[in-house]
Amino acid sequence: MTNVCKLIRTPLSLMCILTRHFSSQEDSMPVAHVALPVPLPRTFDYLLPDSMSAKAGCRVTVPFGKQQRIGIVVSVSDKSELPLNELKAVAEVLDSEPVFSTSTWRLLLWAADYYHHPIGDVLFHALPVMLRQGKSASHAPLWYWFATEEGQAVDINSLKRSQKQQQALAALRQGKIWRHQVDELEVSETALQALRKKGLSELASEAPALYDWRDSFSVSGDRLRLNTEQATAVGAIHSASDHFSAWLLAGVTGSGKTEVYLSVLENVLAQGKQALVMVPEIGLTPQTIARFRERFNAPVEVLHSGLNDSERLSAWLKAKNGEAAIVIGTRSSLFTPFKNLGVIVIDEEHDSSYKQQEGWRYHARDLAVYRAHSEQIPIILGSATPALETLHNVRQRKYHMLRLTRRAGNARPAIQHVLDLKGQQVQAGLAPALITRMRQHLQAGNQVILFLNRRGFAPALLCHDCGWIAECPRCDHYYTFHQAQRHLRCHHCDSQRPVPRQCPSCGSTHIVPVGLGTEQLEEALKPFFPDVPLSRIDRDTTSRKGALEQQLAEVHRGGARILIGTQMLAKGHHFPDVTLVALLDVDGALFSADFRSAERFAQLYTQVAGRAGRAGKQGEVVLQTHHPEHPLLQTLLHKGYDAFAEQALAERQTMQLPPWTSHVIIRAEDHNNQQAPLFLQQLRNLLQASPLVDNPLWILGPVPALAPKRGGRFRWQILLQHPSRIRLQHIVSGALVLINTLPEARKVKWVLDVDPIEG
pLDDT at 221: 65
Q: In this structure, are 431 and 577 located in the same domain?
A: yes
Domain boundary among 153, 173, 206: 206
Q: Which residue type occupies 513?
A: P
**CB–CB of 170/98 below 8 Å?**
no
Per-residue pLDDT of 519-563, as tens digits, reads 989 998 999 999 999 988 888 887 777 777 788 878 888 888 999
Per-residue pLDDT of 334-343, as tens digits, reads 999 999 999 9
Average pLDDT over residues 706-710: 88
Q: For residue 121, is it within any domain? A: yes
Q: In this structure, are 289 and 344 located in the same domain?
A: yes
553 vs 244 pLDDT, higher one = 244
Per-residue pLDDT of 180-226, as tens digits, reads 778 767 788 888 999 999 999 998 887 776 778 888 888 886 777 89
394 vs 539 pLDDT, higher one = 394
Q: In this structure, are 283 and 303 located in the same domain?
A: yes
Q: For residue 501, is it within any domain? A: no
Per-residue pLDDT of 452-506, as tens digits, reads 988 888 888 999 999 999 999 888 889 989 887 888 989 888 889 999 999 999 9
DSSP state of 478: B
Annotated binding site for Zn(2+): 463, 466, 472, 475, 490, 493, 503, 506
Q: In this structure, are 269 and 367 located in the same domain?
A: yes
pLDDT at 561: 92
Q: For residue 535, is it within any domain? A: yes
Distance of alpha carbon 139 from alpha carbon 287, whole angstroms = 28
DSSP string across 479-542:
PEEETTTTEEE-TTT--EEEPPSS-TTT--S-EEEES--HHHHHHHHTTTSTTS-EEEESTTTS
pLDDT at 243: 95
Distance of alpha carbon 387 from alpha carbon 393, whole angstroms = 10
> What are the beta bridge partners of residue 692?
none
Q: Is 598 helix (H, G, I), strand (E, B) or coil?
A: helix
Helical residues (DSSP H) of 126-162, grouped into ranges? 129-132, 149-153
pLDDT at 28: 63
**Which one, of 98, 106, 36, 46, lies nearest residue 76 by Cα?**
46
Q: In this structure, are 122 and 59 located in the same domain?
A: yes
Q: In this structure, are 628 and 737 located in the same domain?
A: no
Residue 561: give its domain's CATH number.
3.40.50.300
Into how many domains does the chain fold?
5
Q: Is 192 helix (H, G, I), strand (E, B) or coil?
A: helix
Per-residue pLDDT of 48-83, as tens digits, reads 998 898 999 999 999 999 999 999 999 999 889 899
Per-residue pLDDT band at 591 (split at 50, 70, 90): confident
Q: For residue 108, is it within any domain? A: yes
Q: For residue 167, is it within any domain? A: yes
Q: For residue 257, is it within any domain? A: yes
Distance of alpha carbon 586 from alpha carbon 626, whole angstroms = 9
Q: In this structure, are 271 and 400 located in the same domain?
A: yes
Q: Is 12 a residue whose pLDDT tops 60?
A: no
Distance of alpha carbon 146 from alpha carbon 169, whole angstroms = 9
**Which one, of 353, 439, 407, 343, lies nearest residue 612 by Cα?**
407
Calculate what percentage of the chain has a pLDDT beyond 70.
94
Per-residue pLDDT band at 2 (split at 50, 70, 90): very low
Which strand ranges, in their side-by-side order, compose the sheet holding 31-35? 44-47, 31-35, 67-77, 59-64, 92-93
Mean pLDDT of the chain: 89
Average pLDDT over residues 506-516: 90
Q: In this structure, are 244 and 362 located in the same domain?
A: yes
**Which one, of 114, 135, 157, 161, lies nearest residue 8 by Cα?**
114
345 vs 428 pLDDT, higher one = 345
Average pLDDT over residues 137-152: 84
Q: Is 23 a residue whose pLDDT tops 50?
A: no
Q: Is 13 a residue whose pLDDT tops 80?
A: no
Average pLDDT over residues 685-700: 88
DSSP string across 720-750:
EEES-HHHHHHHHHHHHHHHTT-GGGGGSEE
**CB–CB of 463/503 below 8 Å?**
yes
**Which one, of 296, 275, 300, 304, lies nearest residue 380 by Cα?**
275
Task: Give whichever of 254-263, 277-286, 305-314, 570-579 has the largest mean pLDDT.
Answer: 254-263
**Which one, of 384, 376, 377, 375, lies nearest residue 402 by Cα?**
384
pLDDT at 25: 41
Q: In this structure, are 453 and 583 located in the same domain?
A: yes
Q: In this structure, are 255 and 114 located in the same domain?
A: no
Q: For residue 9, is it within any domain? A: no
Q: In this structure, are 599 and 617 located in the same domain?
A: yes
Residue 714: give its domain's CATH number.
3.30.70.600
Residue 58: give its domain's CATH number.
3.40.1440.60
- Give the pTM: 0.85
Domain boundary among 626, 648, 670: 648
Give the number of C-alpha atoms closer than 13 A to the C-alpha of residue 530, restricted to the C-beta side. Answer: 1
Average pLDDT over residues 656-677: 96
What are the distances in angstroms from CA 689 to CA 358, 675, 697, 715, 718?
A: 31, 21, 13, 25, 16
Q: Is 709 a residue whose pLDDT tops 80?
A: yes
Q: For residue 222, is it within any domain? A: no
pLDDT at 359: 92
Per-residue pLDDT band at 409 (split at 50, 70, 90): low
Lowest mean pLDDT, pick from 20-34, 101-115, 238-252, 412-426: 20-34
Q: Is 396 a residue whose pLDDT tops 80?
A: yes
pLDDT at 72: 98
Calculate what percentage of the chain has a pLDDT beyond 90.
60
Domain boundary among 601, 621, 648: 648
pLDDT at 8: 36
740 vs 3 pLDDT, higher one = 740
Q: Is 572 a residue whose pLDDT tops 70?
A: no
Per-residue pLDDT of 266-302, as tens digits, reads 999 999 999 999 999 876 667 778 889 889 999 999 9
Q: Which domain, by its residues, includes 440? A: 415-457+516-648
pLDDT at 18: 41
Per-residue pLDDT band at 324 (split at 50, 70, 90): very high
Q: Is 16 a residue whose pLDDT tops 50?
A: no
Annotated binding site: 463, 466, 472, 475, 490, 493, 503, 506
What is the sign of the dihedral through the CA atoms of 524, 526, 528 and 532? Answer: positive
pLDDT at 283: 67
Q: In this structure, are 325 and 300 located in the same domain?
A: yes
